[in-house]
């Protein structure tokens, strides 16, 4: 075997391994989608938590009134 043949053999072996890896990932994705549990929205809490809303303002004369109107 020549060096060119060895390089081609290594190339095709690597290509085959990558193809098998891709098929494995596709199979995992198919199985995950097949057995995925349906998404249910979370229940609303009895008491909503208090939150702080911070508005990024820096030397903006007209931004604060416009943000507070929304």
Summarised one tens digit per residue, pLDDT across range 29-68 is 999 999 998 888 889 999 999 999 887 777 677 777 777 7
Q: Are the beta carbons of 50 and 44 closer than 8 angstroms?
A: no
Give mean pLDDT, residues 14-33.
97
Helical residues (DSSP H) of the chain, grouped into ranges: 3-34, 63-69
Q: Does 2 have pLDDT greater than 90?
A: yes
* Long-range contacts of 46-51, Cβ-Cβ distance < 8 Å, separation of 24 or more: none
Q: Does 12 have pLDDT greater than 90?
A: yes
Report the predicted TM-score, pTM, of the whole model to 2 decimal places. 0.52
């Amino acid at each position: 075997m020549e060096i060119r043949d060895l390089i081609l053999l290594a190339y095709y072996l690597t290509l085959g391994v990558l193809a098998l890896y891709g098929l494995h990932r596709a199979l995992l994705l198919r199985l995950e989608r097949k057995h995925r549990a349906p998404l249910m929205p979370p229940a609303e809490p009895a008491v909503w938590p208090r939150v702080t809303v911070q508005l990024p303002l820096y030397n903006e004369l007209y931004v604060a009134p416009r943000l507070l109107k929304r």
